[in-house]
Amino acid sequence: MRSPVEILGDGEHGAVTGVRVVRNRLEDGRAIPTGEHEVIGCGLVIRSIGYRGRPLPGVPFDERRGVIRNAGGRVCDEDGAPRSGEYAVGWIKRGPSGVIGTNKKCATDTVAALLEDLAGGRLAQPPAAADEAWLRTRVPGVVTWRGWEAIDEHERGLGAPAGRPRVKLVRVPEMLAVAGQHTGVSV
């Protein structure tokens, strides 16, 4: 229930001496500063928390919260009207909060909204030519299901010699190379 507002230091030597924080109260699920401050003494500050979403061209964005504007995962215009076929999930939907289980529930809720829209006829039908070749012309570096399976198999193969379930690939170019090798498509 506290937010950092200032790093304090010894002006003469430049050493950190503390962090000034403001106490918060919860209001509609949000932390609101009370104006009451305190100082936590310390000699080192390491910034290791925080995430702020960035806007994407043409996608409604809530600058104050740093998330894509949405209602239950459905991307919404400024007036609250949902945009057909546009959805958000995870931290870009709700802000940096929760754990893996929170993200799973978040994704489940968004997918439920998508399926509800599909059943209600609120989604446009893809063009007849919407196949892998068509998609690749519009999304450079797209990873198809076959590509994902190749990445999964590769990661599990890397982990097997050490008795690990997998060794995750963490660099996008490496993932794209593995996905592309499997499908025979150059990425």
Q: For residues 36 and 17, give the distance between their C-alpha atoms in angstroms, rounded to a whole number.
A: 20
pLDDT in the model for residue 93: 95
The pLDDT of residue 187 is 44
Cα–Cα distances (Å) from 88 to 15, 63, 84, 154, in that order, read 42, 15, 12, 29
| More confidently predicted of 28 and 104 | 104
* 42, two tokens: 């310390």
Residues 6+ apart with CB under 8 A from 103: 89, 90
Q: Among 33-42, 93-102, 147-156, 176-185, whose mean pLDDT is lowest?
A: 176-185
Other CB atoms within 10 Å distance of the CB of residue 42: 12
Residue 123 has pLDDT above 80, yes or no: yes
Mean pLDDT computed over 111-119: 95
Query: What is the pLDDT confidence band of residue 108, given thresholds at 50, 70 and 90?
Result: very high
Q: Which helix (H) or strand (E) holds 2?
A: strand 2-10
**Average of per-residue pLDDT values in the chain:** 88
Q: Residues 56-83: what's their mean pLDDT? A: 95
Alpha-carbon span 155 to 174, nearest angstrom: 11
